Chain A
């Protein structure tokens, strides 16, 4: 299946500012890969390099073995959905979607058929004659999607396409995008700063930080085994607690930590303990000898409906959060000011290096 991308050593700078710092990654054919990161991380720049709107200083991008960087944007045969849709205001919905086909000299009935099919795939089949000024945000987004897909490109690029929509519509469209991708299966590169969106949609996520690739992994692996503090902090909710490294042992609150089997310590770098709120237990469920204990004091308790969000602090001032699920066995949440023990399975005790 076509649409395999090999990005090698791409470097782009603007004066003293490095936008993309020698990034290399492989995108598998048919994969949904998200470029995730905060503003300035280089994700949009990289997408624009792929699209051909920005020329890097050096590097190579090969699509199915063909060098892309020497091709102008109109010869790259990529579908792209822009953040603000970039629909042509002087064309109707159907004309917008037909435009790529017109440029490829697809004529008459065949063109109409393909336009119809693309619009049906995004449930806009009945609105072909509308002017785009009459469409809502969600409808425009679908037209942009149809236009990008109509000529069946091998690769699809999406630049934060859902960020202009309200929350409910965004979540609905996420599901639709995922279903669409499952159905059509073209290689898709998606840019977002919303980690939840990335976790929902992607086969793999490339986390970018300051122009560098921090980690490229499945959503599951990124959440469970972040490679450093930045990735751990960017994805999911997390707290970072200080540890003491003494030879082979790692001490937390003066007690040795029980770490998971595959735990890796990077020589020469400081480490911190990454704690996720949902992994903390209020009782030593596997027995006090098999779990790690955290002594903390409750700061505040926030009602969330199905649970409480408990803010705590350690003796040294470090802060963390824990979830307290309401249930038959646990009717009352802890109270502010209360001193508590929290327990962590060894497998959930994540040691991460400080970011470079």
Chain B
């Protein structure tokens, strides 16, 4: 039997060629199998997302007759659109802020209570997901309208003389959207908070930190990535949100998404609507990039 040599032969491969070929083949087969598994999903995303977006971009440069034009983008400089963009950002900002103010303490509570209580509370936080957005939005309408439950209760208690205008305005829109968006902030934040070792707070106290200092300097700092994820999610979702502002805004809150809807349903101008859509997409991507820079997030969410 030929003695096994560990040095390479002139051909540049190890003596036991057949074995290493089989191993290489097995490796290749495994890689292709994995690729094959991911391909259908990838193709679907490509088809459903990339292709329509590309078509949208294409359409935005066409006018009614089908000729190339930049007019669709030019008209976006009109005040009605710039103020709509401003309103959209204002809503998104207010909703995000309200979600942070309400959601951070909520997530903190969820992460600190004993397991059983935490599970019950979490179910309550997730409850909105089990009901349709439409139903929830209409529920707010019932609560907030002039003859709604809140106004009637306050009138009966004598707290006010006239019903307050709680809906069909900026306030009502914000309230409805906060209700929808809150779980999106609470969940990533809760997840991060749950992973903070409680012993770190003890260690901070031992080092000399008062409870407030320990919270600020250790817990808050460590929860920031979760907060960043939540804020990004809520802000970006709010930018493009349609249903709730449409129902609770009373036509007075001119969100960008409603402009798109109006352009199609009222004016039938697909080119213009496409331009609006592409603009929203670009603005959203810019916001994503900007937020990531601000929070210093590396990698995925």
Contact = CB atoms under 8 A, between A and B. Distances in A.
Contact of B199 (A72, A76, A84): A84
A291 interface: no
Given A84-B199, A86-B197, A51 B206 contact: yes
A74 interface: yes
Interface residues of A, number: 25
A51 B204 CA distance: 12
B200 A104 contact: no
A90 B208 contact: no
A74 B210 contact: yes
Interface in B181-226: 197, 199-200, 202-211, 213-214, 218, 221-222
Contacts of B214: 74
B218 A74 contact: no
A88 B203 contact: yes
Contacts of B197: 84, 86
Nearest to A78: B206
Contacts of B207: 74, 99-100, 103, 147
Interface string A16-34: 0000000000000000000
A73 interface: yes
Given A74-B206, A78-B206, A103 B200 contact: no
A65 B98 CA distance: 51
A86 B208 contact: no
Interface string B219-236: 001100000000000000
A293 B202 CA distance: 56
A100 B208 contact: yes
Nearest to B210: A74
Interface in B151-209: 197, 199-200, 202-209
A53 interface: yes
A308 interface: no
Contacts of A75: 208
A53 B198 CA distance: 12
Contacts of A82: 199, 202-203
A321 interface: no
A268 interface: no
A99 B214 CA distance: 11
Interface in A100-134: 100, 103-104
A280 interface: no
A242 B36 CA distance: 74
B199 A103 contact: no
Given A100-B207, A103-B207, A103-B209, A89 B202 contact: no
Nearest to A90: B221
A294 to B, nearest CB: 50
Contacts of B209: 74, 99, 103
A80 interface: yes
Contacts of A80: 203, 206
A52 interface: yes
Interface of B: 197, 199-200, 202-211, 213-214, 218, 221-222
21 contacts: A51-B206, A52-B205, A53-B202, A74-B205, A74-B207, A74-B208, A74-B209, A74-B214, A75-B208, A78-B206, A79-B206, A82-B199, A82-B203, A88-B200, A88-B203, A88-B218, A89-B222, A100-B208, A103-B207, A147-B207, A151-B208
